[in-house]
Amino acid sequence: MNHYLPMLYETLFGFVALFTLTKILGKTSINQITPFDFISALILGELVGNALFDKNAGILDIGFVILLWGGLLLTLEIITQKLKGTRSFLEGKPAIVVHNGKLIRDVMKKNRLDVNQLQHLLREKSVFTIEEVQFAILESNGTVSVLRKSDYQTPSRKDLNLPPHEVKLSYTIINDGEIIYDNLEELGVTEEWLMDEMIQQGYTRIEDIFYAEYTKGQKLLIFPYINKNKQN
């Protein structure tokens, strides 16, 4: 019976330590984790599990393993926050697999996504035919975000006997204080146009903008950095 007590202490310690590490790293739900986060969680669980059943490993050994691996993960989190160019490499980036109702085969092939897999992901969004899809974006966590054609949106224009209208995709223009020049080029607008739009809304510095998106024919949507102290 005596050998069960150390296992109890070590298991409780491992549970508390992993829970604390998860809170520190700021993870939310399993649906939102990236492939890298998933692999990290598996490795961390394996390390702790092996330490628990190793007779030569005590609480200090388990704590060291968790602290070491947690420090590595936290370092990568800081790197992705400070060096924005590393985000797409470590976290992945979204990919448009359906554009204006057409399957983008090259993008699907690059992401190793076949039609059957895409149909499965669409059915999870209550979309049972690709005909309904105007845009579909494969997210970095493996899910698909769907923008339906206007005829199939809820309530559908077809049900209301209204003529179809063009569906437009929103583009991220500013992310974390930096301009997304590829999207400016895709939209056919310039940085000068962006500055004019910002000035009209009372903003003069790109660095003050946390996020901004634009849909053709609509007003530029801007979310500035918010100081919590001022907010309170």
**Predicted confidence band of residue 232 (pLDDT cuts 50, 70, 90):** very low
Domain 94-152 is found in CATH 3.30.240.20: yes
**pLDDT given at position 36:** 62
Which of 4-13, 60-69, 121-130, 159-168 has maximum average pLDDT? 121-130
**Predicted confidence band of residue 229 (pLDDT cuts 50, 70, 90):** very low
- Indicate whether 51 pLDDT > 80: no
Report the pLDDT averaged over residues 53-62: 69
Q: At what angle do helices 4-25 and 35-52 cross, to 10 degrees?
A: 160
**Predicted confidence band of residue 152 (pLDDT cuts 50, 70, 90):** confident
Contacts 24+ apart (CB under 8 A), 47-54: 48/14, 48/17, 48/18, 51/10, 51/14, 52/7, 52/10, 52/11, 52/14
Which of 13-17, 39-43, 159-163 has maximum average pLDDT? 159-163
- Indicate whether 220 pLDDT > 60: yes
Report the pLDDT averaged over residues 11-22: 67
What residues does CATH 3.30.240.20 cover in the chain?
94-152, 171-231
Q: Which residues pair with 135 in a beta bridge?
A: 99, 147
- The class that CATH gives domain 171-231 is alpha beta
pLDDT in tens, 75-117: 777 777 777 766 666 666 889 999 999 999 899 988 888 888 9
pLDDT in tens, 157-211: 777 787 887 778 889 999 888 999 999 998 999 999 999 999 999 999 999 998 9
**pLDDT given at position 94:** 87
Q: Which of 93, 95, 67 is nearest to 80 (CA)?
A: 93
Sign of CA dihedral 13, 29, 138, 173: negative
